[in-house]
Chain A
Amino acid sequence: MNRFLPLIVLAFFVSVPLWLTDQYYLHTLVVCGIFMLAAMSLNLLLGYTGQLSLGHVAFFGIGAYVSALTSLGFSVSIFGYQITHDPWPPVVGVVLGGAVAGLCGYLIGKLAFRVRGAYFVIVTVSFAEVIRLISLNWIELTNGPLALPGIPPLTLGFEPIGYLTLWDKAANFYVVLTFIVVTYIIIKRLIDSPYGRAMIALRENETLATSVGISVTRYLVLAAVFAGTIAGVSGTLYAHYIQIIDPAIFMFLNTVTMVIMVITGGKGTLAGPVVGGLIFGIAPVILRKYVGPEVQWILYGSLMILIVFVLPEGIVPAIERWFGRASAKNSELALEPGKGARS
C-alpha cells in the first residue's frame, strides 16, 4: 500500500485539469505547486541535514530574476563597461536560473556552514536580505520596485516538432506537476543513497558521523547546492507563470511559508513538504472567503507555534505512526536481506 500511494496521488493530480474547470482554483494549484517545490528543496536542509536555513527565499528569487532577465534581455553598465544581453528562450532561463541559484547555494553553503545554530540562521537571513536590497537598488538591472513586467511564458518544443507556449493554466499545471515528480524522485534517490544517509548522520550526531569518515562540509554543501538549485528552478517557474516579478518576492514571509509547509507536513520526510505544501497552498483559498490576509497570517503563525507544541514531528510521521502496525508488516519484507538488496 505504501508503495502505490504516491502513484495513486499522482494519478489523481494528473486528472485534476480534466474536471476542475474553475480557472481560479487551477491557478491556486499551480502557485501551490511552485511553492511546494521550494518547500521540498528546503526540506533537504531543514529536514535531512537539520540546518535551519531561513534564507531560502533568496534562491527562489535569484532563480526568478535570472530566468526573467535571461528571457527579457537587459543592458547594464558595470565599471564603465556596457553589458547588453538579448532575450533568450525562457527554457534557457530556467536552466540558468537553477544553475545560478545552485552556485549561490554552493557559495553560501561554504560560508554559512562554518558556523552552526543561531549564527547559521542569522547568516542565512542576512544573505536573503542582502539579495533583496540588491534587487531593490540595482534599478538598471532589476527595475527596482517598479518590477519586471512582461516576462514571457515558458515555451516547450523543438524546431522540427513545433512549439507549445504555455499560456493556459492547465498546461502550466502539468509542467509544475512534472517538476514536482522529478524532484521527488531525485530527493528520494538521494536520501536512500550513501549521500542522503551522510546528511542524516550529520543531523543525528555530527561527532560520530565524522568518526565514521563523513566529511561535514562536503555533505552539507552538497545539500545546499541541491536545495539552491531546486528552489531556483521553482523561482523560474514562478517568474514565467506570473509573468511579473518585483523585489517583494524576497519577502521573509515567503521563507516562512516554506518553513511552515515543511514543519507542518513533517521535516525530514519525503511526503512532508507535499502534504504541508497542499495544506498551505489551498488554505488561503478557503480562508479568504472569511477573513482578511492579516488574520490569515495570524492563524498561520499560531499554527506554527501549535505544531511545535503538539505535533513537533509534523503530520506525516503522525499519520505513519497511526498506520504503523499495518505498514510495519509490509516494510519488514523490504528489509529482508535478499529483497532489501534489490529494492
Chain B
Amino acid sequence: MTAAQNPNAILAVENVAMHFGGLIAISDMNFHVNEGELVSLIGPNGAGKTTAFNIITGFQRPTKGRVTFRGTSLGGLKPHQVTALGLVRTFQRTNLFDKISVFENVLIGLHRKTSARLLGTLLSLPRERKAEAELRDQAWEILRLVGIEHQAKERAASLPYGDQRLLGVALALAAQPSALLLDEPVSGMNATETGRFIELVNKLRARGTTILLVEHDMPMVMGISDRIVVLNYGRIIANGTPKEIQNDPDVIQAYLGQGVKHA
C-alpha cells in the first residue's frame, strides 16, 4: 500500500531515491507516517537513515521521488519553510545558543510566536507586556513538558549532556510542530537520561504529536514505536509493528551480518 493511497498519512515518502555520483544512498523508498503515530526508522550503520532524514526535512534534495507533508510537496522548500509547515527536526549533535540561559533559549525558539510591535515594545504598552507574559508562560510550559524547568537559569552549555539534548527538543517544540523528527535523540545518553527521554516522548504522544524517530537504541525503539521501518543498503527491507520486525528474517539477517562484519 503506498502512502498516497492512505488517507491518514500526514507525512508521505514516495519513490524517493538519492544518488551521490555513482553511489546509491537510497533507492526507491516508500513509507508514510499517520497522524499521531510514532514511526521509527532504523537500520545498520550506513543504511541511509541520515540521508533519508535530511531529505524529509529539506536539507537535501532527492534525486528522484517526492516527500509530502499534509499534502504539500516539500520539493524545493528551504529548511525554515519546512519548519513553518509544522514539520520540525532536532539535530543529531546538540545545537543550542550556548552562552545564554536555558529559558532564553526557549524564548528565542518562540520567536515567531510573538505579536509584539516595535513601538509598543519601546513604550512598554500593555499589549506588548501581555504578549511578552504569554510568551514567557509558553516557554515555561515547554520547559516543564521537557522536564528541565529547574535549570531554566543555567547557561545552556553548562547543562549535562542529556539535558542539552532535551533543550534541543524544547527548541524544536517552541516552533509548535505537528510532526517532530528526532535524529538519534538518545545517542550518548546514559540509561537514566534515556529513561527521561522516553517519558518525554510519551508525553508528546499524549498531546497528539506525530513523531518520526531515527535511532540506534533497539530497546527504546522496540518499546515506544507503533511501527518500524527498517532500511538496509538504501532499501526498505521491512515495515511493521515491533513484534513483526523482531521476527523478520531479513532484519535479523541484516543486523547479524553487520555484527559479524564488526567482529
- Which A residues are closer than 8 A to B by beta carbons? 186, 189-190, 192-195, 197-198, 200-201, 204-205, 207-214, 222, 328, 331-332, 335, 337, 340-342
Contacts and interface: CB of A to CB of B under 8 A. Distances in A.
Nearest 9 interchain pairs by C-beta: A341-B133, A204-B97, A194-B114, A213-B112, A193-B121, A201-B108, A337-B140, A341-B136, A197-B108
Nearest to A196: B121
A342 B140 contact: no
Given A201-B111, A204-B97, A212 B121 contact: no
B209 interface: no
Contact of B111 (A189, A190, A212): A212
22 contacts: A186-B122, A189-B122, A192-B132, A194-B111, A194-B114, A194-B132, A198-B108, A204-B97, A205-B97, A205-B98, A208-B171, A211-B83, A212-B171, A212-B174, A213-B84, A213-B112, A213-B175, A335-B153, A337-B137, A340-B136, A341-B134, A341-B136
Nearest to B104: A197
Nearest to B108: A201
Contacts of A207: 95
B188 to A, nearest CB: 19
Interface string B80-91: 100110000000
Contact of A193 (B83, B96, B132): B132
A204 B98 contact: yes
Contacts of A189: 121-122, 124
Given A210-B80, A213-B83, A201 B97 contact: yes
B109 interface: yes
Nearest to A331: B153
Contact of A208 (B95, B99, B122, B140): B95
Given A201-B108, A204-B98, A204-B100, A195 B121 contact: yes
Contacts of B128: 193
Contacts of A201: 97, 108, 111
Interface residues of B, number: 36
Contacts of A193: 116, 121, 128, 132
A208 B172 CA distance: 11
B103 interface: yes
A208 B171 CA distance: 10
A193 B125 CA distance: 12
Contacts, number: 86
| Secondary structure of the A contact surface, majority rule | helix
Given A190-B122, A204-B100, 7 more contacts: A189-B121, A208-B97, A212-B174, A212-B175, A214-B108, A328-B153, A340-B140
A213 B80 contact: yes
B55 interface: no
Nearest to A334: B153
Interface string B118-136: 1001101000100011111
B152 interface: yes
B125 to A, nearest CB: 10
Contacts of B171: 208, 212
Interface string B52-71: 00000000000000000000
Contacts of B104: 197, 200
A102 to B, nearest CB: 13
Contact of B103 (A205, A328, A335, A341): A335
B143 to A, nearest CB: 9
B111 A213 contact: yes
B111 A198 contact: yes
B44 interface: no
Which of the listed residues B97, B133, B174 has the most CB atoms from chain A within 10 Å of its own CB? B97
A188 to B, nearest CB: 10
A88 B135 CA distance: 46
Contacts of A209: 97, 108
Contacts of B80: 210-211, 213
A212 B91 CA distance: 13
Given A212-B174, A335-B103, A342 B114 contact: no
B9 interface: no
A194 B83 contact: no
A335 B152 contact: yes
A340 B136 CA distance: 7
B40 to A, nearest CB: 24
B175 A208 contact: no
B242 interface: no
A193 B118 CA distance: 9
Contacts of B137: 337, 341
B107 interface: yes
A332 B97 CA distance: 21
Contacts of B109: 212
B129 to A, nearest CB: 8
B122 A194 contact: no
B95 A205 contact: yes
A195 B133 CA distance: 15
A212 B168 CA distance: 12
A197 B79 contact: no
Contacts of A222: 118
Contacts of A211: 79-80, 83
